[in-house]
Structure 1
């Protein structure tokens, strides 16, 4: 057993209609002037307005930054930091999907800091503390509400990660009612993202640990059993709660054990073609799992019991194959496209994406069960063209 450190937020609250407690929670953190960080979709569906009303009812003077964009561009994040300073915010509330939550983390960190965003890219590069931070996810997938990583897209379209414990929130508030409006395609993509988090944490070559393993197994169990129920009936709050909790557990697993090549191959699809992150993961998941099968048979066999409960297998190899087949089947849930060409990616785009994976995202290949070279990454992309 290797040494490990496991970090998690001090408080996680899972409660239907928990958003009604937001003002009280902010007061407990001594926040008087919170900044809500969200996107226009959260405004349009009324969730931002509801949060603002709850905060106002608690006597708090809330401001809102509602210009978050997908795959947070660095210039947009700078504007969010400036908004926090202009509002003299003394606390940050992230409200939305992974992009809003990732932006909120960096805003909380930099609002009162002299560091630039570029200076905090990497591992443990941030200095000082941050503003009090509450994270409220409205999608069930990224797990960003419980992680200390934020992924920013720089001016060149490259993904840059900030890893530092200060990004862990004071409170993660899970309210499954906020996810009810997600269409089936988004529900599927985000849940598959969470399942990938769990799988890659469980098979991490460098940071696998027993706490993350336990969370990953439970995450896969909750997600695989309840995603079909959510797709069948989007109003099923118990199923949505289970999926949201599974995503949270998957987030804690991966940030303490790392993600790997599925994420590595997914990143260029988001940066270059704006394919949503969960969908990008779903697209490359099947072929990467098959590529890893030779080194991950034992681990995949164990995970088969999470996604195929009650099924018996004649051998470890049969269980591992059943696991990969099941995940391949789920990749098309909710009507998700399963071919790159369906999303505007062509043969001419593949060499550049593959080069990016092996040169700029090598850190994720390093944690993968198997090494990958340029030719192998290229072949994986071509297999799903």
Structure 2
């Protein structure tokens, strides 16, 4: 067995309406006097920021709001949020929203340290840095950002840059499924499939697979799998939404400790070059990658299949069960309403060489954790299969 170092949040609350009822009391436990809420304009418009503000102010904290986060947050936006936190001497940082808002909040939480720009921070050894108390409140069931110690932002040249250290792990994750009730169907589907990929890639990680992540990945996948159709067709089902949100968090804890792999490696260029949302990009390439991995990963996919669809896989050998598993994931994508061919997103065969080159030259670390090695030509093949 490999050596294991495992990190997760110190405090997780999973309860409907918990942001309204418990955020202020949790802030008191950290002696917060001035809190900054990091979010986006859409979340503000839904009224969620007002709910958080009232809970914090009732507990005696001043509140400032930064609601200019955008998808794949640029460094410049992150720096604006840092300046606002510094100017107001904030002593609590709250990321409220999707992965972009929470990733921004993770970097803002480092603001008491001396650095002039986020570019400088990306180059620094932050192992000895202080961090402000950091709360994460997700409004989607997918990214798992509330339980991870990675923050991904966008550099000026359009490339994705990551800060990856347990130093930025949120202290508190508040899982309030009422905040996911208004999610449109396509976002519900994309984020759920994203979380499933997190579970699957954590469970099959070639380099960092471990028993703790395995257990969380299996349970997370069971919760996501069994509630996927429910939340798509009955979006107001609060019990199903609660299970999806907790499943996503379990997936986040699993993958940040075990790593993701080639699905993410092939999805990132789709997001960078063609602005395909991250969860949708993962869903597009997942079955192609899993099929490619079958020669070595079929036993592991079979284990997951038997955990989530025991009746359907009864009596099947590993390869049969693994294929059944992948076929069901493909059906999830097709019935979700999401586009599932690259040409539907204006991606052509002429674009594939450049996409594959990015995978091999920029995201080689994600190929290293994949169950199978993958060459440039094999990456092109996988893209062409979903063209």
Same fold (TM over 0.5): yes
CA distance in 1, matches of 2:83, 2:9: 26
Could you tell me how far 1:194 is from its partner in structure 2? 0.5
Moved more, 35-44 or 50-59: 50-59
- Match of 1:230, SS state, is helix
Report the TM-score when normalising by structure 2: 0.97
Per-residue CA shift, 1:64-110, capped at 9, x if unaligned?
Answer: 00000101111111111111112211110000000001110011023
- Match of 1:9, SS state, is coil
- Is the counterpart of residue 54 in structure 1 residue 45 in structure 2? no
- Which residue does the alignment assign to 1:141? 142
- Is the counterpart of residue 45 in structure 1 residue 46 in structure 2? yes
Per-residue CA shift, 1:162-187, capped at 9, x if unaligned?
Answer: 11111111110000010000011111
Report the TM-score when normalising by structure 1: 0.97
- Which residue does the alignment assign to 2:12? 12
Tell me how many residue pairs correspond in the alignment.
385
- Which residue does the alignment assign to 2:201? 200
C-alpha spacing 1:267/1:184, structure 2 compared with 1 (3 Å): same
- Is the counterpart of residue 371 in structure 1 residue 354 in structure 2? no
Gaps of 5+ in 2: none
- Match of 1:332, SS state, is helix
CA distance in 2, matches of 1:57, 1:133: 19
C-alpha spacing 1:122/1:287, structure 2 compared with 1 (3 Å): farther
CA distance in 2, matches of 1:273, 1:31: 41
Moved more, 339-348 or 151-160: 339-348
- 1:235-254 mapped onto 2 (5 Å cutoff): 235-254=236-255
- Which residue does the alignment assign to 1:335? 337
CA distance in 1, matches of 2:11, 2:296: 37
- Which residue does the alignment assign to 1:164? 165
- The alignment yields a C-alpha RMSD, in angstroms, of 1.4
CA distance in 1, matches of 2:170, 2:81: 18
Per-residue CA shift, 1:306-365, capped at 9, x if unaligned?
Answer: 331333033111111111111111123431100112122222222111111100111100
Could you tell me how far 1:380 is from its partner in structure 2? 1.1
CA distance in 1, matches of 2:109, 2:151: 12
Could you tell me how far 1:120 is from its partner in structure 2? 4.2
CA distance in 2, matches of 1:130, 1:156: 28
CA distance in 2, matches of 1:84, 1:343: 38
Could you tell me how far 1:299 is from its partner in structure 2? 0.2
Gaps of 5+ in 1: none
8 A Cα contact 1:119 1:126, kept in partner: no
CA distance in 1, matches of 2:201, 2:362: 19
| Residue from 361, 379, 382 that aligns with 1:380 | 382
Could you tell me how far 1:115 is from its partner in structure 2? 6.5
- Which residue does the alignment assign to 2:326? 324
8 A Cα contact 2:13 2:174, kept in partner: yes
